[in-house]
Amino acid sequence: MTQIGFVGLGKMGGNMVHRIRRDSDHEVVGFARSESSVKDAVKHGAIGASSLRELVKKLEPPRVVWLMLPAGRPTEETIEKLSKLLDRGDLIVDGGNSRWTDDKRRSQELRRQGVEYVDVGVSGGVWGLEVGYCMMVGGPQKGVKRLSPILDVLAPETTEQSRAAIGPRGWMHFGPAGAGHYVKMVHNGVEYGLMQAYAEGFEIFDKCEYELDNARIAHLWGQGSVVRSWLCELAARAFEEEGNDLGKIEGYTEDSGEGRWTIEDATAHDVPTPVITASLYARFRSRGNGQFADRVLAALRNQFGGHAVKSAPAAGTSSRGKGSSQAAGRARGGR
């Protein structure tokens, strides 16, 4: 039996605690700023803590504390507080989406205090409770070995084809601190590109002359097609739940930052990433960040070629279906 502390019990952290308690006899002590999240973890068999200090007190040394917090300041501040509460030989695990360079710095700082540090890139989202989490691990071999009983519970069983390459469970140790989050960063960059390709394909269907059922197409593509994937399965689910035109969903897409970091590192190594870069820019545009540029393009095209421009909709109305206003006296060829 392994004992572990969990800090951050949101959609990912809470489900991970649930999976550990459901599928093993490992003991979990959980803490979150949300009291209701702690209560939910307790319902699934965890021991609740009302503070970081209490969490540390409830763990037997040498302790293992896993963080599932937003990258950046929340993670940074929590690690700083924990470093003052933990003892030599304890281990901190960052399972969030931290930048790999932060992992390298933290590892060095904590090592001076005798505290080990492991970074784990976690993929699986809200489905991880059911199907398991793919985990990409970085850090010292000793710390990873201590953590392996927990990783084995969280990860799915590997397929027969992959077992010889990576072992019986779906996690892998890639190297020293930062290696896990580095692999996860590129993983997310690739994910951006895959998502964008599916999005563009289904938009073509939405605009074409045929009455096509997007959900059924997505299901069909999962039957032996070379573009079959879990993302395609999720697309089918989304169309079934939200309708063929996804009309209830606003086309606004955030990014976690990992796509940006992937492009930055690729640029530093002179690696062209046109697909990942374009997919990140598409997300920027989804937030309205390209609207002024679009207006400039329309205005310039009108000025040199006399091409029609659409009138801006009045406040509270949609521009869909609006006619265009023709610039008077100009009717030159198109470009």
Which residue of the set 54, 191, 233, 240 is catalytic? 191
For this structure, is 81 an active site residue? no
- CB-based contacts of 241: which residues, under 8 Å, 6+ apart? none
Q: Contact, 21 vs 31, CB < 8 A? A: no
The answer to whether the CB of 178 falls within 8 A of the CB of 101 is yes
- Which is the catalytic residue, given 27, 104, 116, 184? 184
| SS3 (DSSP) at 143 | helix
Which 8-state DSSP code applies to residue 127? G
Whether the Cβ atoms of residue 115 and residue 61 lie closer than 8 Å to each other: no
Instruction: Decide: 251 and 165 in contact? Cβ < 8 Å.
Output: no
Long-range contact pairs involving 101-107 (C-beta distance under 8 Å, separation at least 24):
101/178, 102/76, 103/138, 103/177, 103/178, 103/180, 103/181, 104/176, 104/177, 104/178, 106/79, 106/177, 107/139, 107/176, 107/177, 107/178
Spatial separation of the C-alpha atoms in residues 195 and 230, rounded to whole Å: 11
Is residue 142 a contact partner of residue 177, using CB atoms and an 8 Å limit? no
Q: Is 184 a catalytic residue?
A: yes
Q: Which helix (H) or strand (E) holds 232?
A: helix 230-242
Rounded to an integer, what is the distance from CA 45 to the centroid of its chain?
27
* Catalytic residue numbers, as ranges: 184, 191
